[in-house]
A and B are shown apart, each in its own frame.
Chain A
Amino acid sequence: GESVGLHLPTLSVQEGDNSIINCAYSNSASDYFIWYKQESGKGPQFIIDIRSNMDKRQGQRVTVLLNKTVKHLSLQIAATQPGDSAVYFCAENRGGYQKVTFGIGTKLQVIP
């Protein structure tokens, strides 16, 4: 069935290193993807998005890569900081509105 899933449930990274969080999706018709950050006790916070007609999009310290051939999405965080510690969700937007399908999430732990 259709799903959005993550490869690693937990990722530990040394402060200052780069982080890479991966995501696989199964619906080849998906055309819009979003990364969210969720800190403990808070709601998801939009980080960056990418449309299926793009391979790469950069933001401030973050880069999202989309590989449609293998249905893979990744979020790269440069110079990871303690404040980046959170659960990161990739999400898929279909239906022309914000009916977003979330994956399970990857917990990023930054080691000072």
Chain B
Amino acid sequence: NAGVMQNPRHLVRRRGQEARLRCSPMKGHSHVYWYRQLPEEGLKFMVYLQKENIIDESGMPKERFSAEFPKEGPSILRIQQVVRGDSAAYFCASSPEQGMGTEAFFGQGTRLTVV
């Protein structure tokens, strides 16, 4: 059973371009969470999705950022018109169900560099 798969591992974009980050949850997991980590900082919650539904996007910037988790395929975090401040590591986690005590498994992350 493969773990949470994120791709690409590294992504370089010029200012103004679009970045698409993909996350394939563990098999059997229907809950996906996206986090952003700046250097030397902890992870900041962005968005929580279930299949075809956004449950909580309170940590995601209102502009330029969007997320989806379609019925088929990976979850996508999309950043439009990237700026230097978007440079960070973006982590995805998945869990089989919601609720406290449900361990979430993290992927290896996508490191986005905006030049």
Contacts and interface: CB of A to CB of B under 8 A. Distances in A.
Interface of A: 4, 31-32, 41-46, 49, 51, 89, 91, 93, 95-105
26 contacts: A4-B42, A32-B101, A41-B108, A42-B109, A43-B91, A43-B106, A44-B91, A51-B100, A51-B101, A89-B42, A89-B43, A91-B42, A96-B100, A97-B48, A97-B55, A97-B95, A97-B99, A98-B48, A98-B93, A98-B104, A99-B45, A100-B33, A100-B45, A101-B45, A104-B40, A105-B41
Contacts of B100: 31-32, 51, 93, 96
Size bin of chain B's contact surface? 20 to 34
A97 B44 contact: no
B18 interface: no
Interface string B54-86: 011001000000000000000000000000000
Contacts, number: 70
B43 A97 contact: no
Contacts of B59: 99
Contact of A100 (B31, B55, B104): B104
A104 B91 CA distance: 16
Contact of A98 (B33, B40, B41): B33
Interface of B: 4, 31, 33, 35, 40-45, 48, 55-56, 59, 91, 93, 95, 98-109
A104 B41 contact: yes
B56 A103 contact: no
Contacts of A4: 42
Contacts of A43: 4, 91, 93, 106-109
